[in-house]
Structure 1
Amino acid sequence: MKSLTSDEPVTVVGIGADGWAGLGESGRSALARAQVILGGQRHLDLLPATVPAQRVPWPTPLLPALPDLLAAHAGRRIGVLASGDPMWFGIGTHLARLVGAERIRVLTHPSAIALACGRLGWPVERVTVRSAVARDLDGIRRDLVPDRLLLVLSRDGATPAAVARLLTDAGYGPSEMTVLAALGAEREHRVDGRAQEWGAEPGDPLNVVAVRVVAAAGTRVLSTVPGLPDDAFDHDGALTKREARALALSRLSPTAGELLWDVGAGSGSIAVEWLRSDPATAAVAVENRDDRAERIAANARRLGVPHLRVVRGQAPDALAGLPAPDAVFIGGGLTTPGVCDAAWDALRPGGRLVAHAVTLEGERELVDRAARHGGDLTRLSVERAAPLGSFTGWAPARPVVQWAVRRP
């Protein structure tokens, strides 16, 4: 592949639905000087015939082809057209990573988010933004709490109806929805309604869905703080219980940008709650049984983290080739030869490993590991009030031994 060499940076120009007429002088000048302009066909069609540059539509899929596309036009003045603010869910961020921030010049246009907030009178700093473009819509389930202001960047004209169905299914049917279409264009318009009553036909593909989240009566609101109720997960008994799960996650310490391995994941509760803690985290759930692997994926979707990667296979073999983790939880297969060693060896420096045992054999394994690597051993005993004849007594749960350690 040829390298991108030019004395001038790649100029990325944000453009709105109002097209050429809505561009400032700097954007128009940059496009007029360009020798080649890259962009979506819809954006390229907004340029007047007086712009002399060669127009090259984006290939599909775009991101894998981007390096060769830039290299093919090396040495030319390259302009790029993008929707609104190119650095907000836009091509600008990918270009900055690819060629370096110092090699791009970005001329922003008011984003759909800014325009939508202006139309609705919403304070931008209070708004949660999610994109349905090339992303799983179930991801917004994590954001569903009463009174949240949510903006969804639509994939197409059918997205609003899909959002309405999701909200209703999740117990937020009374949520107020506004679809803002073709923001900034002469054909701009809006449709208002409630999710559970939404009946609007698919409309303009250029739209943003605004949601003021309202819970239906009886809907249980789920926090992103670790320790969801056990019945929030579909499981067959292979579940790290609420109290042990909350303590495990406190020791795993999820942080934005970090990757977790959940080994012997069972219902996937640890991986799911790790991902719910911060949208920028990542996780891999490793599970040998097919039925449990399917259950993990279903739990992840229902609880708003559909990006959880599920690997079907038996550890330690299933761990080979996975990206190095920043944290590992071992909840199943602890005594299987090689599992602990493979997890420990893969862990990044400074990474955290937490393992739970409920059997004497597993406990012996943890005691031996702690003797070799250090860390903390904790025995967790939980008792819950339960009927005892006509009275109420304490019913003890099975004790859990936890080993938590940080790799030097």
Structure 2
Amino acid sequence: MITVIGLHNPQLLPDALRERVLGCDLLVGGARHLAAFPETKGQRIAIDARVEELLDRLVATHAAGKKIVVLASGDPLWYGIGATLRRRFTPEQLEIIPAPTAVQLAFAALGEPWNDALLLSAHGHPLEPVISRLLQAPGRAAILTDTCNTPGRIAARLLAAGFPDCAAAVCERLGESRQRIVRAQLSEIREQSFDALNVLVLFPPATATEERPFGLNDEELEHDGLITHLEVRAVALALLRLRPDSVIWDLGAGSGSVALEAACIAWRGQVYAVERDRSRVERLRQNLERWGNTRIQVVEGEAPQVCEGWPDPDAIFIGGSGGQLVELIDYCTQRLQPGGRIVINLVTLELLQTALAALGAHGLRTEVRQVVVSRSRPLRGQTYLAALNPVYIVSAGQPEEMDVDV
């Protein structure tokens, strides 16, 4: 049996666990942890980058029946050595004894609940996936940092990516006599330096997107009359078959009506919206500011040129082509993820024929729906139905992906 002990304050370690540490044949831990037990008589190994060599040594020592203790910070199974040990040892071979994690201590020091917090680690991990997760789910969050991915660097990257300049806190040396809590705006955190042992906590404000139901009325959006109407929008979004983590391109985004609704469905994903008309881009940004969504990246420019740096999409909506429909389709079919969908809204028969020919040339199976919507209007104390312009909705995907009707 290998005993894995999580530490918070070594001086508060119960006597029974201290005896295990002092009486073991092999003591493993970080240099800081080992220094807390200088009186240990067994062999000592400091954890460094040579993890596989360490695991080999532990397997051999365990096979010899020796007593092994591994020291870790907080909960060894939360971004700790516990997950590494499980690569070589079964649960029955490990006795995990956790202590409070740095995140628990941070929220306790702040007096803030954390049952709904997003918990991430940039400690020894690439920063980009952390930034991506924070942009996808911009709620209360705690991030473990290190000397490379410091609070200042994380704050700078978040703000550059459009994350709100929200309230934040850096909690240093938690549980020690030198504990320090710094509360500030994220932009202020960006300019400061902190002790290497810290946790960064973010408190972005709740957005209107989190509070509203799916379905925005046309009148709730700023637009110039050219908008994907609510009823047509609902059908197009259904045909895109979005998942919570989908990456979506909205080409010819206009007012952003489709992008906003798509971001509600793909609440852990990302939406990239491009619009070439500057006045429409301004209206789009106004709609994003009103309804609040950090998962939508707006680009003013011409598709497909501006799409080069975007991740390959799971779904593409084309609401406007700027006279380059064939070129857009050619580009989109090359970038679309396996199993992805392309949905195109059109109003003329000529463009419908062009789209079907271009999609068919790439071996995609297509379906066409005509959506005709009438809305009630008052008429001399009574009600009549006024028709909107009919819209053709083309959906396309690989043949095996198009067998299920929506």
TM-score (norm 2): 0.56
1:342 alignment partner in structure 2:
331
2:187 alignment partner in structure 1:
none
| Matched-pair contact (CA < 8 Å) for 2:366–2:397 | yes
2:319 alignment partner in structure 1:
331
Q: Distance in 1 between matches of 2:301 and 2:141?
A: 36
1:398 alignment partner in structure 2:
389
Q: What is the Cα-based RMSD across aligned positions, in Å?
A: 5.7
Q: CA deviation at 1:36?
A: 4.5
2:189 alignment partner in structure 1:
none
Task: Output the amino acid matched with 1:230.
Answer: D
User: Which secondary structure does the structure 2 equivalent of 1:338 belong to?
Assistant: helix
Task: Output the amino acid matched with 2:212.
Answer: L
User: Which secondary structure does the structure 1 equivalent of 2:321 belong to?
Assistant: coil
Q: Distance in 2 between matches of 1:136 and 1:298?
A: 23
1:160 alignment partner in structure 2:
none
Q: Distance in 2 between matches of 1:132 and 1:291?
A: 39
2:212 aligns with one of 210, 215, 222? 222
1:129 alignment partner in structure 2:
117
TM alignment of 1:87-106, pairs within 5 A: 87=78, 102=87
2:250 alignment partner in structure 1:
262
User: Which secondary structure does the structure 2 equivalent of 1:356 belong to?
Assistant: strand
Number of residue-to-residue matches in the alignment? 323
TM alignment of 1:241-256, pairs within 5 A: 241-256=229-244
In the superposition, relative to structure 1, how do residues 302 and 25 fare at CA in structure 2: closer, same or farther (>3 Å)? farther
- 1:281-310 per-residue CA deviation (whole Å, 9 max, x = no partner) reads 233222224554455456446545313333
Q: Distance in 1 between matches of 2:318 and 2:282?
A: 19
| Matched-pair contact (CA < 8 Å) for 1:326–1:347 | yes
Q: Distance in 2 between matches of 1:101 and 1:248?
A: 46
2:275 alignment partner in structure 1:
287
Q: CA deviation at 1:347?
A: 1.3
| Matched-pair contact (CA < 8 Å) for 1:34–1:53 | yes
Q: CA deviation at 1:140?
A: 10
- 1:377-408 per-residue CA deviation (whole Å, 9 max, x = no partner) reads 00111111123344432222222110012224
Quick check: which has more Rg, 1 or 2?
2
1:173 alignment partner in structure 2:
none
1:309 aligns with one of 285, 288, 297? 297
Q: CA deviation at 1:262?
A: 1.4
User: Which secondary structure does the structure 2 equivalent of 1:33 belong to?
Assistant: strand
2:127 alignment partner in structure 1:
none
- 1:117-167 per-residue CA deviation (whole Å, 9 max, x = no partner) reads 9xx9x9x9xx53346997699979988xxxxxxx654999xxxxxxxxxxx
User: Which secondary structure does the structure 2 equivalent of 1:343 belong to?
Assistant: helix
TM alignment of 1:77-156, pairs within 5 A: 87=78, 102=87, 108-110=98-100, 128-130=116-118, 153=142
- 1:180-217 per-residue CA deviation (whole Å, 9 max, x = no partner) reads x99x96999xxxxxxxxxxxxxxxx9798999x9x9xx
Q: Distance in 1 between matches of 2:73 and 2:296?
A: 29
User: Which secondary structure does the structure 2 equivalent of 1:395 belong to?
Assistant: strand
Q: Distance in 1 between matches of 2:335 and 2:132?
A: 30
Q: Distance in 1 between matches of 2:4 and 2:220?
A: 45
Q: Distance in 2 between matches of 1:319 and 1:108?
A: 47
Task: Output the amino acid matched with 1:250.
Answer: A
| Matched-pair contact (CA < 8 Å) for 2:33–2:72 | no
Q: Distance in 2 between matches of 1:186 and 1:13?
A: 18
Task: Output the amino acid matched with 2:251.
Answer: V
User: Which secondary structure does the structure 2 equivalent of 1:102 belong to?
Assistant: coil
| Matched-pair contact (CA < 8 Å) for 1:84–1:108 | yes
In the superposition, relative to structure 1, how do residues 186 and 290 fare at CA in structure 2: closer, same or farther (>3 Å)? same
Task: Output the amino acid matched with 2:248.
Answer: L
User: Which secondary structure does the structure 1 equivalent of 2:233 belong to?
Assistant: helix
Q: Does 1:274 align with 2:262?
A: yes
Q: Distance in 1 between matches of 2:301 and 2:4?
A: 45
Q: Distance in 2 between matches of 1:46 and 1:229?
A: 62
Q: Distance in 2 between matches of 1:406 and 1:322?
A: 20
User: Which secondary structure does the structure 1 equivalent of 2:239 belong to?
Assistant: helix
Q: CA deviation at 1:252?
A: 1.0
Q: Distance in 1 between matches of 2:273 and 2:392?
A: 21
In the superposition, relative to structure 1, how do residues 131 and 288 fare at CA in structure 2: closer, same or farther (>3 Å)? farther
In the alignment, structure 1 segments of 5+ residues that lack a partner are: 1-10, 38-43, 57-69, 144-150, 157-178, 189-204
| Matched-pair contact (CA < 8 Å) for 1:142–1:303 | no
TM alignment of 1:54-69, pairs within 5 A: none
In the superposition, relative to structure 1, how do residues 247 and 185 fare at CA in structure 2: closer, same or farther (>3 Å)? same
User: Which secondary structure does the structure 2 equivalent of 1:386 belong to?
Assistant: strand
In the superposition, relative to structure 1, how do residues 53 and 132 fare at CA in structure 2: closer, same or farther (>3 Å)? closer
Q: Distance in 1 between matches of 2:86 and 2:226?
A: 47
